[in-house]
């Protein structure tokens, strides 16, 4: 048996890094290099050295040794430093220091490695062109799904494939909340508070639970999959704030789990990009992905359907992804950032969401009065929406100001599963139903995804 290469003299000059941002990921990268620096040197044929760093507070104890590294207070100055070959941007944010320093590094002919999905989702087209003009790398493995090597998989492993669809669970906070709601029969607000207490959710959780974080990542995967310009502003985005324990319970009884998915797929009209809560069959692999774990699936025409599962965040997983990008640069590998030269990237054509076809879950809180059910059926029929199943539940607990004894007039929960139809038809039917004053609350609609 051949022994793995674990040590040996480097054959090239060291690759010198400048790290901007010494938070969770930056400190994790330094620990990784402390742990595996020798084996990396042997594997890559050259040493990896951190020669300079930048952060807001020089006095903060980060649990890592910064001896021998130059300190910069300004990330843009670090980006221009002669003592670095690679600028590692771990600041975060779509504007400000992150954007200005990355632009400065690329213009100065420095390779860039970043974990910043927001920056790339909003400015990826311009930054990719800038990298190509200066013949340097712009690598971002850590920007999507943490430790899952999805960028390399799509850019290299699936280079010989056409992609029909890419989708996945790309936000650990949302998956943690939905898993807790499922397993413990708890409400969204209660589980969100627990996620905040455990550090899984921010004090302002809207970026995560509102679907924005997932959309940033989906925008990058869409470009890699379909060779189109990054088009974050064209993504339909819904979060999980409106998901109730009643929806979780109903999904379970009907054979589904609810997940926040990002989905991009090619259609005859263009590319469909959407982020929203989705019902997936219990027996599907993606339904088994629980807690803070992420997953990304790619439907390739020659490879078949692939599913990659792993940690979507955390110091170790994200630092591992950053290191994989640095390793490519150390080996002399420079790829077009989005898999194709900018001259071959196509303009993005958005498919109308109203044309989307699929099955839907609908939950209506209906005043139990004569004619209510008939009116609902009429509106659905007028839009050509047919039903696969109907479940009616009497109220189990009092709603504010409502008699919960199930007496005539009290609202009852009506759960509908439709056959495949269009988004336009569903929305038109629900709008008409809502105008009839027969609902005690706005209708809930969740898409059902074929996997």
Name the residue among 336, 273, 331 with its Cα closest to residue 131.
Answer: 336
For strand 111-114 and strand 138-139, is the pairing parallel, antiparallel, or unpaired?
parallel
Instruction: With beta carbons less than 8 A apart as the criterion, state whether 143 and 220 touch.
Output: yes
CATH no., domain 355-448 = 3.30.70.260
Residue-range domain boundaries for the chain: 15-143, 150-311, 355-448
Q: Which residues of the chain have pLDDT under 50?
A: 1-9, 397-407
Supply φ then ψ for residue 143, to 5 degrees: -75, -20
- Same topology, domains 15-143 and 355-448? Answer is no
CATH topology of domain 150-311: Dihydrodipicolinate Reductase; domain 2 (3.30.360)
What pLDDT, on the 0 to 100 scale, is given for residue 227? 96
- Rounded Cα distance, 332 and 137, in Å: 10
Half-sphere exposure of 450 (CA within 13 A, CB side): 9
Q: Is 217 a catalytic residue?
A: yes
pLDDT tens for each residue of 393-448: 765 544 444 444 444 557 888 999 999 999 999 999 999 998 888 888 899 999 99
Reduced to 3 states (helix: H, G, I; strand: E, B; else coil), residue 63 is coil
- Given the residues 217, 282, 346, 438, the one annotated as active site: 217
Element (H, E) at 219: helix 212-226
Q: Give 155's DSSP letter.
A: I
| Locus of tokens 């139903």 | 433
Name the residue among 272, 277, 317, 284 with its Cα closest to residue 145.
Answer: 317
What pLDDT, on the 0 to 100 scale, is given for residue 408? 52
Distances (CA, A) of 69 to 35, 57, 393: 18, 15, 66
CATH top class, domain 15-143: alpha beta
- Rounded Cα distance, 417 and 448, in Å: 9
* Inter-axis angle of helices 188-197 and 172-184, nearest 10: 130
Instruction: With beta carbons less than 8 A apart as the criterion, state whether 203 and 176 touch.
Output: no
């Amino acid at each position: 048996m051949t022994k793995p290469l674990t040590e040996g003299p480097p054959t090239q000059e060291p690759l010198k890094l400048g790290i901007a941002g010494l938070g969770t990921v930056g400190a994790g990268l330094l620990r990784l290099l402390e742990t595996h620096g020798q084996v990396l040197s042997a594997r890559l044929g050259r040493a990896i050295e951190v020669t300079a760093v930048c952060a807001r507070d020089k006095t903060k104890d980060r649990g890592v040794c910064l001896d021998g590294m130059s300190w910069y207070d300004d990330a843009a100055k670090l980006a221009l430093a002669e003592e670095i070959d690679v600028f590692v941007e771990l600041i975060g944010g779509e504007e400000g220091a992150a954007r200005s320093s990355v632009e400065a590094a690329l213009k100065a002919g420095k390779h860039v490695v970043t974990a910043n999905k927001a920056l790339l989702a909003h400015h990826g087209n311009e930054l990719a062109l800038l990298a190509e003009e200066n013949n340097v790398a712009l690598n971002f493995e850590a920007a999507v799904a943490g430790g899952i090597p999805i960028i390399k998989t799509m850019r290299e492993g699936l280079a010989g494939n056409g992609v029909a669809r890419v989708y996945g669970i790309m936000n650990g906070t949302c998956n943690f909340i939905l898993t807790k709601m499922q397993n413990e029969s708890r409400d969204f607000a209660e589980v969100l508070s627990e996620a905040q207490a455990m550090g899984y959710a921010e004090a302002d959780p809207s970026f995560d639970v509102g679907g924005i974080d997932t959309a940033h990542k989906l925008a990058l995967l869409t470009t890699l999959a379909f060779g189109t310009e990054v088009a974050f502003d064209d993504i339909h985005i819904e979060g999980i704030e409106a998901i109730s324990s009643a929806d979780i319970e109903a999904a379970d009884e009907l054979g589904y789990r609810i997940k926040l998915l990002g989905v991009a797929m090619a259609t005859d009209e263009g590319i469909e990009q959407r982020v929203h809560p989705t019902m997936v069959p219990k027996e599907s692999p993606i339904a088994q992905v629980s807690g803070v774990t992420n997953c990304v699936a790619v439907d390739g025409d020659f490879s078949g359907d692939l599913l990659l599962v792993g940690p979507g965040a955390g110091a170790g997983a994200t630092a591992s992804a950053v290191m994989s990008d640095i390793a490519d640069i150390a080996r002399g590998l420079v790829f077009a950032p989005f898999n194709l030269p900018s001259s071959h990237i196509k303009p993005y054509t958005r498919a109308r969401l109203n044309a989307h076809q699929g099955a839907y879950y609908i939950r209506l809180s209906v005043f139990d009065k004569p004619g209510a059910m008939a009116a609902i059926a009429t509106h659905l029929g007028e839009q050509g929406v047919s039903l696969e199943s109907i479940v009616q539940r009497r109220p189990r607990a009092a709603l504010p100001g409502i008699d919960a004894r199930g007496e005539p007039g009290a609202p009852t929960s009506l759960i509908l599963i439709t056959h495949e139809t269009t988004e336009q038809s569903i929305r038109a039917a629900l709008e008409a139903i809502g105008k009839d004053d027969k609902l005690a609350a706005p209708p809930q609609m969740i898409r059902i995804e074929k996997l």
